[in-house]
Amino acid sequence: MIELSYYIVLAITLIPMLIYGFLLKFSKRNSAEGNVLNENSERSDHRPAGGNKVKVSVIIPCYNEAFGIKRKIDCFLSQFAEIGMASFEIIVVSDGSTDGTNKVLKSFAENQFVRPIYLNQRQGKANAMNLGHRLARFPILLFSDTRQIIPQGTVGQLLSYFNCGSVDVVSSTLQNGNESSRIRQFINHLKVLESETGSTISIYGALFAMRKECYQPIPTNLILDDLYVSLSAIANGYKTTIDSKAIVIDVELKNFYSKERVFRLLCGHLQMIRKANFNLSDLSFKHLIYLYSQKYFKLTAPILWALLSILALFNSSIGMWHFGLTLSAITLVVLLKKSVAISISRYVLLLFRSFGKLKAYETPLWEKSIEI
């Protein structure tokens, strides 16, 4: 009975990932006329300068970002000037800020392109995004957070997708620190492969662009707003993709998965199942596999591994190769990249700690961002 249970859990762990790999390898690729820009693409219709043909509303939700909001507004103004953009607006929704953010925004009073919105009470990022969507004047929406650094050329790279073609949502690519980690490189590569075989399930909420009609209002208090945007778009037949050249720089990986962030990720993924106002059944089997593999596997894998380890303790033959294989895998990762092993170990420990706090998982309000 122990042996059978072990192999059932092992199958539950491995089969979805094997199917995921099969789909990425053998699903039909987009044609040469498609809009996915992979690492080797040099197509002329996706050069940054092409972004000036569209009209865009930038939407920046912020809370207590007095030391970063000016830098972000100036960044967009600079990048729009670079591509000769004339029809744009920058909507900044100050969500009950109390630290001087509003004073900084008022310094842009003479700038016709900047539209600050002041909310008296903090209502959460989802509400700020919904408000920005309702107030937007232009057909392309560009959502941005405040903390991250956007290298020159990234904005034009994203907007160029809307000059032609059928892409509806385009995500930037996350880089942790000055040099992307191997873990991040691997995750980003999987998103590119997903894009090439249909739509990527995962967009990066710190910077993405989309057609206004594709936006579905985000339910109040929903934590994972970016995941909701991509899932609702795909469920309604729209196409989502990621641009590997549109880089956005965030904090290093070791700081990215803080205990607060790991807890919010766990809560957010559980909340998505319960509170999304569309049915997950609206997604195709392929996209359900993509969703599990990109988002939920990193939550279930440590639990399933722990369960396998417990079962292996009660069967000597299984235990020998289970723990031998586990030790070999850990040793290999440590030898190849010690920092990767530390990051994974820290994440797993934080994840298990987070399970003890799930009673308080209605946490819609985000805390002050880490500066980079």
DSSP string, 276-290: -SS-GGGS-HHHHHH
Domains in the chain, number: 1
Looking at residues 131-160, what average pLDDT do you find? 95
Residue 16: pLDDT band (50, 70, 90) is: very high
Question: Which two three-digit tokens encode residue 330?
Answer: 């850990």
Question: Above 70 in pLDDT, residue 37?
Answer: no
Q: Where on the phi/psi map is residue 177: left (φ > 0), alpha (ψ -120 to 50), or beta?
A: left
Looking at residues 12-38, what average pLDDT do you find? 75
For tokens 């199958």, the residue is 11
269 or 19, higher pLDDT: 19
Looking at residues 360-369, what average pLDDT do you find? 52
Q: At what angle do helices 225-235 and 259-275 cross, to 10 degrees?
A: 30
Q: How far apart are CA 293 and CA 276, in angstroms?
A: 19
Question: Above 80 in pLDDT, residue 295?
Answer: yes
Question: Above 70 in pLDDT, residue 275?
Answer: no
Question: Above 90 in pLDDT, residue 31?
Answer: no
Sheet holding 140-144, edge to edge: 114-119, 88-95, 56-62, 140-144, 207-211, 169-176, 240-250
pLDDT tens digit sequence for 222-256: 888 999 999 999 999 999 999 999 999 987 766 77
CATH code of the domain in which 311 resides: 3.90.550.10
Looking at residues 26-45, what average pLDDT do you find? 49
Residue 365: pLDDT band (50, 70, 90) is: low
Question: Above 70 in pLDDT, residue 75?
Answer: yes
Looking at residues 261-271, what average pLDDT do you find? 83
The structure's pTM equals: 0.86
Domain of 154 in residue numbering reads as 1-372
Residue of 134, 136, 200 lying closest to 170 (CA atoms): 200
pLDDT at 183 (0 to 100)? 79
Question: Above 80 in pLDDT, residue 336?
Answer: no
| Mean pLDDT over the full length of the chain | 85
